[in-house]
Structure 1
Amino acid sequence: MLSNIYKALAHPVRRDILAILRSGPRLSGDLADRFEMSWPSLSRHLAVLKDADLITAERQGTKILYRVKTSVVEDAAAALLALAGTRPAQDETDGSENALSDIPPNPESEE
């Protein structure tokens, strides 16, 4: 499972999608408006994130609502920090902060 998560986090567009979803659920059309790429390309990025269990997708009529699975993202960030040897102290995060909140979105994909 971790290899799927690392693969998903390896691409800057997927990290940007996660950054957008951290602020709240978004409809597929809202996400498409944020990126200058074809819908099939964005859909593939969303599928990789979904396969890694980092996001959920809920169909609402003809639209799809995407949400970040915060606990999975936090676990992945903790695993990455552990690999780097920089695990945050438990009392610093108290378990309630988003472990990826300090990672800025990729400015190249923002308009």
Structure 2
Amino acid sequence: MNALFKALSHPVRRSIIDMLRKGPMASGDIAAAFDMSWPTITGHLNALKEAGLVSPERDGASIRYRLEISAVEEALAFLLQMTGAGRKDPGDEP
């Protein structure tokens, strides 16, 4: 969970996740969206991969990244639990 929130703490990584919400993308297409060096983008993609937020898959000579919804759902569930949202009061009806 710590790696997940650390990965989400950087605005570039959040932008990459937003891009991947529309579907898998090649690493070169992701890099082209930013004015950064290739090694910097690779570092951001690796942080997202280590956090379980994205998964790489080989597509010919390139690598495509796919958003891992289960990791996002896990983070959201944790945040909802921390805020008390979705928790039932003992007097609530079933």
> Which residue matches 1:87?
85
Say if 2:5 is the partner of 1:6.
Answer: yes
TM-score normalised by L of structure 2: 0.85
Contact 1:78 1:87 in 2 (8 A): no
> Which residue matches 2:90?
none
Say if 2:55 is the partner of 1:56.
Answer: yes
SS at 1:67 equivalent: strand
Report the Cα offset of residue 58 of structure 1. Answer: 0.6
For residues 82 and 34 of structure 1, what CA distance do their matches in structure 2 show?
34
For residues 4 and 72 of structure 1, what CA distance do their matches in structure 2 show?
11
TM-score normalised by L of structure 1: 0.72
- Flag structure 2 segments of 5+ consecutive residues without an equivalent: 88-94
Query: What does the per-residue CA deviation read over 1:77-103, in whole Å, with 9 as the maximum and x for residues that have no partner?
Result: 2212332x15357xxxxxxxxxxxxxx
For residues 40 and 63 of structure 1, what CA distance do their matches in structure 2 show?
15
- Flag structure 1 segments of 5+ consecutive residues without an equivalent: 90-111
Size of the alignment, in residue pairs? 87
Residue identity opposite 2:85 in structure 1 = R
For residues 46 and 9 of structure 1, what CA distance do their matches in structure 2 show?
12
RMSD: 1.4
Find runs of 4+ consecutive structure 1 residues off by over 4 angstroms.
Answer: none
| Greater C-alpha Rg | 2
